């Protein structure tokens, strides 16, 4: 997306100096905890979620290696979301002071954080619209496409086949559907020849048709970064 200078690379590496192993199912940050640390995802897949008044869970987004998460800790005393591990992995925690030093020394990195936050905002807007206005089939198809695209961004060997790594309950919590309804939609998408499933792996057999079914927009495409400050 943007070529970083050696100094910018070094600054980001300093943010990631500490590593914290995580296990699938572990809670890294709980909603309404005291806000303190932020994290870079080094390995594995995380999810951001919140509990609703009826006790149900709404998954807000899935998080992948390279993502900077819990940036809300910059502006709130208490965390507005729960972060949990969907797989074994590694996160790199850092604190406000470390980010403040990085931004002060490297303003272009601050601009890139703004870019990242706006990509996430647009993607969350898409998911909000989908929850209210698209079919169950479209919502499930969109999750499949988004997972493949984000996993492929970190592993160029991924093409049409990938390990989804999500339970049907987790897909349901991201799409506002029950696990039973998710199962029905996955079977329908498969019967229509859009995907094939085997041993936890999904293959896109008709990607163009799946994209049409999902009304999916890749918010990591079509970026205009011509305004970014020049590198120093």
Ramachandran category for residue 170: left, alpha or beta (phi over 0 → left; psi -120 to 50 → alpha): alpha
Q: How far apart are CA 28 and CA 73, in angstroms?
A: 13
Q: Is the pLDDT of residue 1 over 90?
A: no
Q: What is the mean pLDDT of the chain?
A: 94
Question: Is this prediction's pTM over 0.85?
Answer: yes
Between 108-112, 118-122, 129-133, the lowest mean confidence (pLDDT) is in 129-133
Count of other CB atoms within 10 angstroms of residue 222: 7
Angle at the Cα of 46 from the Cα atoms of 139 and 98, rounded to 5 degrees:
130
Cβ neighbors of 116 (< 8 A, separation 6 or more) are 68
Q: How far apart are CA 187 and CA 164, in angstroms?
A: 15
Q: How far apart are CA 180 and CA 168, in angstroms?
A: 8
Q: How far apart are CA 37 and CA 79, in angstroms?
A: 10
């Amino acid at each position: 997306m943007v070529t970083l200078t050696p100094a910018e690379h070094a600054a980001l590496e300093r943010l990631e100096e500490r590593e914290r192993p995580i296990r699938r199912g572990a809670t890294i940050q709980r909603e309404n905890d005291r806000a303190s640390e932020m994290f870079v995802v080094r390995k594995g897949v995380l999810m951001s979620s919140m509990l609703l008044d009826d006790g149900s869970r709404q998954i807000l987004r899935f998080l992948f290696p390279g993502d900077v998460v819990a940036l809300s800790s910059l502006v709130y005393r208490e965390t507005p979301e729960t972060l949990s591990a969907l797989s074994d992995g590694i996160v790199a925690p850092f604190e406000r002071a470390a980010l403040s030093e990085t931004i002060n020394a490297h303003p272009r990195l601050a601009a890139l954080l703004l870019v990242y936050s706006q990509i996430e905002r647009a993607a969350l807007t898409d998911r909000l619209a989908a929850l209210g206005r698209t079919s169950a089939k479209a919502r499930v198809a969109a999750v499949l496409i988004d997972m493949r695209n984000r996993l492929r961004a970190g592993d160029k060997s991924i093409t049409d086949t990938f390990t989804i790594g999500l339970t049907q309950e987790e897909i349901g919590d991201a799409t506002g559907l029950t696990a039973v309804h998710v199962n029905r939609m996955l079977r329908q998408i498969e019967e229509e020849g859009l995907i094939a499933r085997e041993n936890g792996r999904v293959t896109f057999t008709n990607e163009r048709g799946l994209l049409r079914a999902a009304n999916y927009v890749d918010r990591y495409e079509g970026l205009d970064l011509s305004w970014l400050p020049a590198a120093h």
